[in-house]
Amino acid sequence: MKISITGSVISTVFVLLNLLPLLPAQEAIQGTRRYSDYEKPEACKSCHTDIYFQWDQAMMSKSYVHHWDEIEYFDLAVAHAEKVPDLKPVVDGCNGCHAPLAFMAGDVPPPRPEQGSRANEGVSCDFCHTIKAVRDEIPHNFSYVSEPGRTKYGSKAGLESPHHNTQQLDLFSQTEFCGNCHNEKNPYGIWVKSTQLEWKEGPYSRENVPCFHCHMPKAKGRSAKMAQEDMVAQHLFHGAHDPGKVGGAIEMRMHPNEREVLWDETVTVTVQLFNAKAGHKIPTGSVEDRILWLHVTATDADGKSYHLAVDPKGFDGEAYTIAADVLAYQDMGVPLGLPDFAGLQRDGVPAGDRIFRMPYFDPEGRMTIQQWNTASLGVDYRIAPRETKIETFTWAMPDDIPLGRVTFRAELNYQKLVKPVADFLKVPSDESDIVPVNSAETWIEVVD
């Protein structure tokens, strides 16, 4: 069933959510299996040792225990469902992707990570390798069909193992496999995650370069201790939490509109940003949390620095893409039990910087990081795969600018979670660390 509701027709959240049925995939799988139907990752480790340690270091194995997930799930989502009971199915649904074994075992909400339940296995070996099909035409919201048992599915035909049967399925070479969890539609009918859909409408889909090529690259080796040498899919799943994956993803160059500029004139520098490395938009995935921003400075011949503000382009919703000192995220006050919550600083980066992002809005039209409480999306000003965006910075130099060289520097940075939110919720600082993506420089001579 297709749910499509716009923010403007909603009278209250409560009425709206009452009308919404459980998602079909949720009815089909929640509580239909037992934990004991699935083998533990340790059962695969003795033979697939190298793959095990790759997975163990990837976010896939931490999708339930990762501290920011625990904070958002228990302190915001579960707390929100306690106050607005209609949210319960959606909040149970978090586990369909983050703790799939717990979800299928009907163990929701699962015990906290420190209690050591099998929810902690996250997106595990036996979970992925017993996915048999996709339930929906457009994969999303845990639309996987899970058939645990002796047969482990994979992309290769005719392999033999002493521990299990193997079977080749085309699905293990198709992005729909990943789209089961990397596309998400919320109860308002909003696509709050659409990585596989972004890939599908982009150049990498036309050239048949699926997710696996970049996130599970193949290298010569043995997939199991007793296997023959072959090209083996590395289980890296590296993404936003790997500074090396994010670094250089966007290439950047910068030039001035003239080299010699009279001291009382205005100069414009142009920055080009090219998404050279990602098969989807940047940022993608948890877009409600993430920002990519461009900071430009000028340094004069005396070493004095000036911050340049981006030239506005005038498109609808642009205000959300230029850093400003305004408040947002007031809807966190509901789950946190703070009825008069004024909100937090929206961006936490210098005012005037360009932000590449897509804002999420709650039913009252305020920016939110609560994807389950998102009733509409704002302007999509992210950088699409192989897209080049151009930004200009026009600067009327100060009257006392010394003659000589002015150097311009552009820095492109990435943050997984906007800092004011991270600090407020006491999320470990690595989620809000500034990750450098790229930088560029150019110069002019100031003359009279």
273-312 residues in contact with ligand HEC (CB under 6 A) are 277-280, 282-286, 289-290
Q: How far is the CB of 236 from ligand HEC (least distance, A)?
A: 8
Which residues lie below 8 Å from residue 213, measured CB to CB, with a gap of 6+? 279
CA distance 213 to 226: 25
CB of 34 to ligand HEC, least distance (A): 16
CA distances from 51 to 124, 127, 404 (A): 12, 15, 57
Looking up tokens 């539609």 gives: 185
Residue nearest to ligand HEC (CB): 285
Considering only 245-253, 317-325, 341-349, 400-408, which stretch makes contact with ligand HEC by CB under 6 A?
245-253
Of the listed pieces 240-248, 255-263, 326-334, 343-351, which binds ligand HEC according to CB under 6 A?
A: 240-248
Question: Which residue, among 171, 168, 74, 148, has the nearest Cα to 113 in the 3D structure?
Answer: 74
Size of the site for ligand HEC (CB under 6 A): 98
Residue 384 one-letter amino acid: A
91 binds ligand HEC (CB under 6 A): yes
The answer to whether 64 and 100 have CB atoms below 8 angstroms apart is no
What Cα–Cα distance (Å) separates residue 92 from each residue in 169, 408, 426? 30, 50, 24
Strand (E) or helix (H) holding 28: helix 24-29
Residue closer to ligand HEC, measured from CB, 286 or 438: 286
Question: CA 415 to CA 246: how far, in whole Å?
Answer: 10
CB of 289 to ligand HEC, least distance (A): 6
What is the length of the chain?
Answer: 448
Within residues 247-276, the interface with ligand HEC by CB under 6 A covers 249
In the shown chain, the binding pattern of residues 20 to 49 toward ligand HEC, with x for contact by CB under 6 A and - for none, equals -------------------x-x-xx-xxx-
Question: Applying CB under 6 A, which of residues 175, 368, 413, 432 lies at the interface with ligand HEC?
Answer: 175
Nearer to ligand HEC, 46 or 305 (CB): 46
**Burial of residue 85, with CB atoms counted within 10 A of its CB: 0-12 exposed, 13-18 middle, 19 or more buried:** exposed
**Is position 199 an interface residue for ligand HEC (rule: CB under 6 A)?**
yes
Instruction: Decide: is 148 part of the binding site for ligand HEC (CB under 6 A).
Output: no
Structure token digits, residue 205: 């889909």
Q: Where are the beta strands (DSSP E) in 70-168?
A: 131-134, 144-146, 151-154, 165-168
Is 168 near ligand HEC (CB under 6 A)?
Answer: yes
Q: Which is nearer to ligand HEC, 100 or 113 (CB)?
A: 100
- What does DSSP assign to residue 102? H
Within positions 218 to 237, which residues make up the interface with ligand HEC, using CB under 6 A? Answer: 223-224, 226-228, 230, 232-233, 235, 237
Residue 126 found at the interface with ligand HEC (CB under 6 A): yes
108 or 401, CB closer to ligand HEC? Answer: 108
Query: Does 96 contact ligand HEC by CB under 6 A?
Result: yes
The only residue of 30, 84, 120, 238 in contact with ligand HEC, by rule CB under 6 A: 238
Q: φ, ψ for residue 63 (rounded to 5)?
A: -65, -15
| Residue 422: C-alpha distances to residues 60, 68, 228, 243 (Å) | 22, 9, 47, 18
Residues between 59 and 88 with contacts to ligand HEC, criterion CB under 6 A: 59-60, 62-63, 66, 68-69, 72-73, 77
182 binds ligand HEC (CB under 6 A): yes
Q: Is the peptide bond before 139 cis (omega within 30 degrees of 0)?
A: no
Query: With respect to ligand HEC, which residue has the nearer C-beta, 181 or 267?
Result: 181
